[in-house]
Structure 1
């Protein structure tokens, strides 16, 4: 099962303060829009998303079809196939991708400790 690129999406109280802190750790801007209260930072292959006032909890994020540079990869498992396989294993979903759809979609699951996991496919 290929989940794709991994990042952590942090729900932050002060975007600028968080950006300043993570820059001290060697992270540099990679994407996002501070005017919309979100930034993506990278340090090597490590990706952190900073999101102010967008969601209540930190989220583990996987992006099927992408590598850590947000580049398309040739061989990947479509999100609908991932969802079907996880359902067959008894995983419960809080949001689901349209199983009959195609292209970009997402679903959300919660691990046993209450950590949200977003699987977010941006490509066809």
Structure 2
């Protein structure tokens, strides 16, 4: 199962303080918009998202169709196909991608310990 680029989406209290902290760890801006309270940062192949006021807790994130540099992959498994496979394997969906659409879409699931997982396809 190809889930795409992996990152950890962190809920932060002050995005500017968090950005400064992670820069000291060697992370650099990869994308996002700090004026909208979200920022994606990268250190080698490690990716984190900083999100202020958007989520209640940290989320594991996968992006089908993207590599770790947010570049499009030629071949990938569509989010709706991933959702279908997971449902067939008995995974319960918290939110579901609309099966009648194409392109961008997402779903969320939760692991046995309550950790949320977002599978978010941007194209």
Q: TM-score, normalised by structure 1?
A: 0.97
Residue 15 of structure 2 corresponds to residue 15 of structure 1: yes
1:24 corresponding residue in structure 2: 24
1:102 corresponding residue in structure 2: 102
Measure how far apart 1:75 and its partner are: 1.4
Q: 1:4 and 1:32 mapped to 2: Cα distance? A: 18
Aligned length: 123
3-state secondary structure, aligned to 2:108 = strand
**Structure 1, residues 22-61: CA drift from partner, whole Å, max 9, x if none?**
0110001111111111111110111110000111010000
Residue 50 of structure 2 corresponds to residue 55 of structure 1: no
In structure 2, stretches of 5+ residues that fail to align are none
Task: Name segments (4+ residues, structure 1) moved above 2 Å.
Answer: none
In structure 1, stretches of 5+ residues that fail to align are none
Q: 1:33 and 1:97 mapped to 2: Cα distance? A: 25
Report 1:25-104 matches (<5 A).
Answer: 25-104=25-104
Q: TM-score, normalised by structure 2?
A: 0.98
**Structure 1, residues 92-119: CA drift from partner, whole Å, max 9, x if none?**
0110001121100000000111010000
3-state secondary structure, aligned to 1:76 = coil
Measure how far apart 1:16 and its partner are: 0.9
